[in-house]
């Protein structure tokens, strides 16, 4: 792969080209093989066991985790020197997407491959890696991540769990309670965060048989009923000093950077669920007849399927753009020496962008899938009912979407550079969309400057402005990813094979430009500077494209209906 790191650090202030980004059309034979392996595992092994898993027969979950480990799916994107297969972040995203078909099982799997394993793999010392990673990567043992507490969810730094060093200096005594811990019922290893001396947030490795460690009853959840979610109770648990991960007082560095990767893995899983919901909805629309014809003949059903496909295309484009950039970043770190924490931190905003975009797209798509099913979509025997319930937690997982929006906006205000030179646009099928994106970037720069000059740059305080700015950035990043992917496809595959992409891009960019104008009106009067110029720029977005959006959506829907699945 030859892509450069075309990430958030320069996508607002630099010109990005199709060859700079990774797309699903760039999948290698190895990527296709790992996709096939993961999909076969889920379809042939996990899905037949879902009924038992949903009844919390956790022996099935444990058995399947061992199978996943044997196939190399758990350690696929872990470096070889740490015991993994070193297949890269693109492969990790592919596996996460395919594993989504496993519903509750995908949560167990994702908890293991992301926030469960990574604290040790990325931040543990050699002795810790040797002691724990072989069994975790093989699936022989299962990990859980214990950060959230009854009084500290998004505000992780306010956790109350304490760690006190023993008089002989051999161990720490941990006391406290963790809440909503995924995999808790059958986890062998717990990554636990506690404060040393009441103030130094630190990460620890705990084993399930440590005296004083216990779990509460299973939580009764809205969805993901087949995953284990319990409290973790720590009552004078003696933890050897050798089980401190990293440095005392640096646990937040581990926690937040691991959560960055967790957010990205959630986005890949949400993408997989979105594709499944489209498949179920399209098949049902073809099968179900009303008024003497299939539902798929009705234009409002077609519009729904088109909107679902458009959101998924933009989402998919952004996710694999990010995966490719992350893979390149990790390769550079390994080649030139570096730090996992700094490398992950460099992609924090992209991870938040993908997490917000993907989880909200899934909620929209699953809702529309239920609507297409009508009353049957509300019945438990139909899979879309489970997808709808299961999807809701994703906007809360790994930091709520609200806090992720604040992260995006605050980072942009802190790191914004000068506006890039104007880029000339050659005539072509996507010229208008590229010009619209350039205008949206200009508006983004102007908004940032207005916030600073109006002394409204504290995004923790000015959260309405933060949400607007974050949504604008998300629209730009996903829109640009969609445009660049389509441009790349046009150059490599031609107009006929790229027709669905082009239609999706034109609709997506046009609708996001409209969104920008309408929502800009709600924030303009809160800014004390540049109101007139901001209004003028926003107004130009309203004339972004005169395309016949209705006809394009009908074409998009026709292809989805014919294929009975998401298709590009």
| Phi, then psi, of 346 in degrees rounded to 5 | -65, -15
Looking at the predicted structure, is the pLDDT value of residue 420 above 80? Answer: no
Task: Tell me how crowded residue 202 is: count the other CB atoms within 10 A of its CB.
Answer: 23
What pLDDT shows up at residue 149?
95
Cα distance between the two ends of the chain:
22
Question: Which residues, in sequence order, are bridge partners of residue 191?
Answer: 145, 205
Task: Flag whether pLDDT at 423 surpasses 70.
Answer: no
Confidence of residue 3 (pLDDT cuts 50, 70, 90): very low
Residue 416, φ and ψ in degrees, nearest 5: -60, 140
In the predicted model, is pLDDT for residue 224 greater than 50? Answer: yes
Q: Per the structure block, which two tokens stand in for 424?
A: 């000339």
- Tell me, what's the pLDDT at 456? 87
Q: Is 516 exposed, middle or buried (0-12, 13-18, 19+ CB in 10 A)?
A: buried
- Residue 529 has a pLDDT of 59
* Contact between residue 316 and residue 24 where contact means Cβ atoms under 8 Å apart: yes
Q: What are phi and psi of 343, to 5 degrees?
A: -65, -45
Q: Please state which of the ranges 296-300, 430-434, 453-457, 497-501 shows the lowest mean pLDDT.
A: 453-457
- Classified by CATH at the fold level, domain 8-141 comes out as Butyryl-Coa Dehydrogenase, subunit A; domain 1 (1.10.540)
Say yes or no to pLDDT of 126 above 50.
Answer: yes
Q: State how far the Cα of 310 lies from the Cα of 510, in Å rounded to an integer.
A: 12
Class of domain 415-563: mainly alpha
All CATH 1.10.540.10 domain ranges of the chain, comma separated, are: 8-141
In this prediction, residue 1 carries a pLDDT of 40
Characterize the bridge pairing of strands 171-182 and 200-207: unpaired
Average per-residue pLDDT for the chain? 92
Dump pLDDT digits (tens) for 199-212. 999 999 999 999 99
The confidence band for 531, taking pLDDT boundaries of 50, 70 and 90, is low
As assigned by CATH, the class of the 144-250 domain is: mainly beta
pLDDT grade for 543, boundaries at 50, 70 and 90: low
What stretch(es) of the chain map to CATH 2.40.110.10?
144-250
Long-range contacts, 293-298 (Cβ 8 Å, 24+): 295/372, 296/561
For the segment 119-125, the average pLDDT, to the nearest whole number, is: 96
Q: Which pLDDT score, from 0 to 100, does residue 527 have?
A: 77
Under the banding of pLDDT at 50, 70 and 90, the label for residue 415 is confident
Which token pair is 313?
Answer: 């295309």
pLDDT at 6 over 50: no
Q: In which residue ranges of the chain is CATH 1.20.140.10 found? A: 253-403, 415-563
Q: Provide mean pLDDT across the span 427-433.
A: 89
Catalytic residues: 398
* pLDDT tier, 545 (very low <50, low <70, confident <90, very high otherwise): low
Q: Are strands 162-165 and 189-196 parallel, antiparallel or unpaired?
A: parallel
**Buried b or exposed e, range 422-442, using 16+ CB within 10 angstroms:** eeeeeeeebebbbbbbbbbbb
For the stretch 22-31, pLDDT in tens is: 999 999 999 9
Q: What pLDDT does residue 528 have? A: 67
CATH hierarchy code of domain 253-403: 1.20.140.10
Handedness of CA 564, 492, 475, 4 (dihedral sign): positive
User: Looking at the whole model, is its pTM more than 0.85?
Assistant: yes
Question: Above 90 in pLDDT, residue 156?
Answer: no
pLDDT digits (tens, 9 = 90+) for 29-69: 999 999 999 999 999 999 999 999 999 999 999 999 999 99
CB-based contact 1:26 (threshold 8 Å): yes
């Amino acid at each position: 792969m030859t892509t450069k790191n075309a990430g958030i650090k320069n996508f607002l202030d630099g010109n990005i080209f199709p060859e700079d980004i990774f797309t699903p059309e760039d999948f290698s034979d190895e990527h296709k093989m790992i996709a096939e392996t993961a999909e076969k595992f889920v379809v042939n092994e996990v899905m037949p066991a879902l009924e038992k898993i949903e009844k919390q027969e956790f022996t099935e979950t444990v058995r399947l985790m061992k199978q996943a480990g044997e196939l190399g799916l758990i350690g696929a994107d872990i470096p070889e020197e740490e015991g993994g297969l070193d297949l890269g972040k693109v492969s990790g995203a592919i596996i996460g997407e395919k594993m989504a078909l496993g519903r509750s099982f995908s949560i167990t799997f994702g908890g293991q491959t992301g926030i469960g394993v990574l604290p040790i793999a990325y931040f543990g010392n050699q002795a810790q890696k040797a002691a724990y990673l072989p069994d975790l990567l093989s699936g022989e043992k299962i990990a859980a991540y214990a950060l959230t507490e009854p009084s500290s969810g998004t505000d992780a730094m306010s956790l109350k769990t304490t760690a006190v060093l023993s008089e002989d200096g051999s161990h720490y005594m941990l006391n406290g309670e963790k809440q909503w811990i995924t995999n808790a019922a059958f986890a062998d290893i717990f990554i636990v965060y506690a404060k040393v001396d009441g103030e130094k947030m630190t990460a620890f490795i705990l084993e399930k048989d440590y005296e004083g460690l216990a779990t509460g009853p299973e939580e009764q959840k809205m969805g993901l009923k087949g995953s284990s979610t319990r409290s973790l109770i720590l009552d004078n648990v003696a933890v050897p000093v050798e089980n401190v991960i990293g440095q005392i007082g640096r646990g937040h560095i581990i926690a937040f950077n691991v959560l960055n990767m967790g957010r990205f893995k959630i986005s890949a899983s949400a993408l997989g669920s979105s594709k499944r919901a489209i498949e179920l909805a399209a098949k049902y629309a073809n099968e179900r007849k009303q008024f003497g014809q299939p539902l798929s003949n009705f234009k409002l059903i077609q519009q729904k399927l088109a909107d679902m496909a458009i959101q998924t295309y933009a989402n998919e484009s952004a996710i694999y753009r990010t995966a490719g950039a992350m893979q390149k970043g990790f390769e550079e770190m390994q080649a030139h020496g570096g730090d996992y924490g700094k490398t992950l931190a460099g992609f924090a905003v992209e991870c938040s962008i993908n997490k917000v975009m993907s989880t909200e797209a899934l909620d929209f798509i699953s809702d529309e899938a239920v609507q297409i099913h009508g009353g049957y979509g509300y019945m438990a025997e139909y899979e879309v009912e489970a997808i709808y319930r299961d999807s809701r937690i994703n906007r809360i997982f790994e930091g709520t979407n609200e806090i992720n929006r604040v992260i995006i906006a605050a980072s942009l205000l802190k790191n914004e550079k000068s506006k890039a030179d104007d880029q000339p646009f050659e005539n072509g099928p996507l010229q208008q969309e590229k010009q619209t994106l350039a205008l949206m970037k200009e508006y983004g720069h102007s908004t940032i400057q207005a916030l600073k000059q109006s002394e409204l740059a504290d995004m923790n305080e000015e959260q309405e402005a933060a949400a607007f700015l974050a949504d604008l950035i998300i629209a730009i990043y996903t829109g640009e990813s969609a445009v660049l992917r389509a441009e790349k496809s046009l150059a490599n595959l031609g107009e006929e094979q790229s027709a669905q992409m082009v239609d999706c891009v034109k609709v997506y960019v046009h609708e996001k430009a409209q969104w920008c104008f309408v929502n800009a009106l709600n924030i303009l009067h809160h800014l004390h500077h540049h109101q007139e110029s901001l209004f003028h720029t926003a107004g130009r977005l309203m004339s972004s494209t005169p395309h016949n959006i209705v006809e394009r959506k009908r074409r998009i829907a026709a292809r989805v209906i014919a294929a009975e699945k998401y298709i590009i």
